[in-house]
Amino acid sequence: MADESRTSIYIVGAGFTGTTLAAELRSKRIFGRVVAFLDDDPSKIGTTIEGVSVLGPIEAAARVIATTPADEAIIAIPSATHEQLARIYAILRRANFARIRIVPQLSQILDGEAHLIQAREIDPEDFLARSPVRVNLKKSLAYVRGKRVLVTGAGGSIGSELCRQLLEGGAERLYLFGHGENSIYEIERELRLLQEEGVGERATIVPIIGEIQDKEYLDFILSRTRARIVFHTAAHKHVPLMEANPVEAVKNNVFGTRNIVEACKKNQVERFVLISTDKAVEPSCVYGASKLLAEEIVLNAGKGGEHYLVVRFGNVLGSRGSILPLFRRQILKGGPVTVTHPDTRRYFMTIPEASSLVLKAGGVGAGGEVYLLDMGNSISIRDLAEQMIRFYGFEPGVDIPITYTGLRKGEKILEKLYADTEAPEQTEHHKILKLHRKTLINGRIDSVLARLRPICFFDPAEADVFRNRRVLRSVLEEVIPGIGPSQEEPEF
């Protein structure tokens, strides 16, 4: 690519976002020069905006840049559907742009203005899922204005996106809590840079390194920070890894959740939102069982009328440890792409969409309830693999093979979003459902946790069960049928 100070840039979309972006690029000449807009609107084609020609239609990009060369294209159409983005991306690839970037979707923009700093490389997930749900975040985030907000797992995929969107909600302070110093450092620097470039409001950003397993520290932090809203996203999530380390899954996901809930109750936290998963529905793995127990802890905490609630959804595209980054690595090394079973299907939404709906549910949800994000139709993992292979310019089964590895322990061919005992009910937002929940665990959570505690935390009086995987699964089996030990399950 040419030297950045000489980079020639096309902006695809001559609307408000595109022209705002062009003005910003003009003021920051170091990033390059806008040579033209590309647009499909006949009333704009042939005109000039602030001295920049509007060319088109977009379909003619290859012919247009033959006469007006450019190094980079920035797609500045935040309202574009996934289908429209896929079409535009294919056109720009054929036109041989060295770099293609995209500005955020409408769900990530509160004030209608996208900034250059928010532009990023286009990814397969930008058009593999359904078109994202539109959420009026400015209205949805009214409940955080002037409040102190803490996000656990703030360096993770969902936690960091919640922080990006919360940046624009008018919170007084935003506490970034996590145990990974590098991930917390990265999201802190990103948020500060966004603020410097005019994105969001001037919330004070405070990074905090800590463990949700440290009960006393959580109590100390919440008493010092006086946070009034907590989003709890921190969890161990990788199914096969947690099957290999089931005690740690329960120690972190169950007792960590109990620690943060108790600390929040003690320190007058007004609103608590647990991020849960479809794996908690009729669990077949310890990770799912741990999240089901975590749900019960939060629901019990919300029975007294406090706004302690659960938001459940399926997979998110592109999250750390998810299938898309794995497919990407496999494709870029020449394959094969591995799929567990040809019939496997999962529910997916993008990280920004899931986060915006979580923030919406956090504001409208009542305490002691489970809210479910409408995930649309499930997606075939095999089809997802084929689409990703084509995104990178290869033909599935010809250039890049697909192989089937078989289901791993704890995995299902199909996931359910709610159990047969949970009846979904529509809420005021058409993509957020409330579940009427009846479970076997309800009313027994304290006794279950009492039996799990000496397995996770050493007690001299019950030293024989410490870290014993078989005993852990036996206890879980009593309230979650099908989760018990197998013949191959080792003790430790």
Please report, for the domain that includes residue 429, its CATH number.
Answer: 3.40.50.720
Share of the chain above pLDDT 90, in %: 54
Q: Is the pLDDT of residue 376 over 80?
A: yes
CA distance 4 to 22: 16
More confident residue, 297 or 349: 297
Using 50, 70 and 90 to split pLDDT, how confident is the model at 428? confident
Q: Which residue has the higher pLDDT, 257 or 34?
A: 257
Flag whether the pTM goes above 0.95.
no
Number of helical (H) and strand (E) elements in the chain, helices listed first? 16, 22
| Domain assignment present for 459 | no
pLDDT at residue 93 in the model: 86
Q: What number is the average pLDDT over the span 387-408?
A: 92
Pair (232, 361) in one structural domain: yes
Higher pLDDT, 132 or 4: 132
Q: Are residues 28 and 82 in the same domain?
A: yes
Which residues are within 8 A (CB) of 245 and not within 5 positions of it... i.e. 6 or more apart?
Answer: 236
Model confidence at 412: pLDDT above 80: yes
Q: What is the mean pLDDT of residues 12-20?
A: 90
Give the chain's mean pLDDT.
88
Tell me the HSE value of 222 on the side-chain side, using a 13 A CA sphere: 26
Residues 116 and 154 both lie in one domain: no
**How far apart are alpha carbons 401 and 392 in whole angstroms?**
14
Mean pLDDT on 458-476: 96
Q: What is the mean pLDDT of residues 190-215?
A: 90
Residue 457 Cα to chain centre, angstroms: 31
> What was the pLDDT predicted at 68?
66
The per-residue pLDDT for range 135-150, each reduced to its tens digit, is: 677 778 889 999 999 9
- Helices 381-391 and 323-332 pack at an angle, to 10 degrees, of 40
Shared domain for 273 and 418, answered yes or no, is yes
Q: Average pLDDT of 338-348?
A: 93
Same domain membership, residue 156 and residue 70: no
Residue 60 domain-assigned?
yes
162: helix, strand or coil: helix
Total structural domains within the chain: 2
**Residue at 467 is within a domain:** no
DSSP assignment of 262-278: HHHHHTT-SEEEEEEEG
Q: Is the pLDDT of residue 308 over 80?
A: yes
- Residue after which a domain boundary falls, among 122, 155, 187: 122
Answer yes or no: do 197 and 330 share one domain: yes
Parallel/antiparallel/unpaired status of strands 379-380 and 345-346: antiparallel
- Helix locations, 7-123, DSSP H: 16-27, 61-67, 82-94
Domain boundary residue, one of 122, 157, 183: 122
The residues that are catalytic are 279
Return the half-sphere exposure (C-beta side, CA atoms, 13 A cut-off) of residue 263. 27
For residues 93 and 204, membership in a common domain is answered with no
Q: Is residue 482 part of a domain?
A: no
- Give the pLDDT band (50/70/90) at residue 231: very high
322 and 383, same domain (yes or no):
yes
Specify if 475 maps to a domain.
Answer: no
Check residue 30 and give its pLDDT: 67
pLDDT tens digits, one per residue of 43-95: 999 999 988 999 989 998 878 777 666 789 999 988 788 788 888 988 998 88
- Lowest mean per-residue pLDDT among 85-94, 319-328, 463-472: 319-328
**Residue 285: how many other CB atoms lie within 10 Å:** 22
Claim to verify: residue 264 and residue 169 sit in the same structural domain: yes
SS3 337: strand
pLDDT at 105: 66
Q: Do 371 and 397 fall into the same domain?
A: yes
Give the model's pLDDT for residue 448: 94
Q: How far apart are CA 302 and CA 366, in angstroms?
A: 8
Q: Which two tokens stand for residue 329?
A: 């690595």
Say what the pLDDT of residue 233 is. Answer: 97
Give the type of residue at 167.
L
User: How far is the CA of 225 from the CAs of 130, 144, 209, 222, in angstroms?
Assistant: 39, 15, 13, 5
- The predicted structure's pLDDT at residue 2: 41
In this predicted structure, the answer to whether residue 180 has a pLDDT above a threshold of 60 is yes
Boundary residue ending a domain (54, 87, 122): 122
Mean pLDDT across 224-245: 95
Domain span holding position 328: 137-436
- Reply yes or no on whether the pLDDT at 201 is more than 90: no
Do 162 and 51 lie in a common domain? no
201 or 311, which is more confident?
Answer: 311
Let me know if residue 86 belongs to a domain. yes
Nearest-5° Cα angle at 379, 374 to 383: 160
- Taking the C-alpha atoms of residue 356 and residue 136, their distance in angstroms, rounded to an integer, is 9
Residue at 421 is within a domain: yes
Residue 16 lies in a domain: yes
Pairwise CA distance, residues 23 & 8, whole Å: 15
234 and 102 inside one domain: no
Q: Which of 157-171, 258-272, 369-383 has the highest mean pLDDT?
A: 258-272
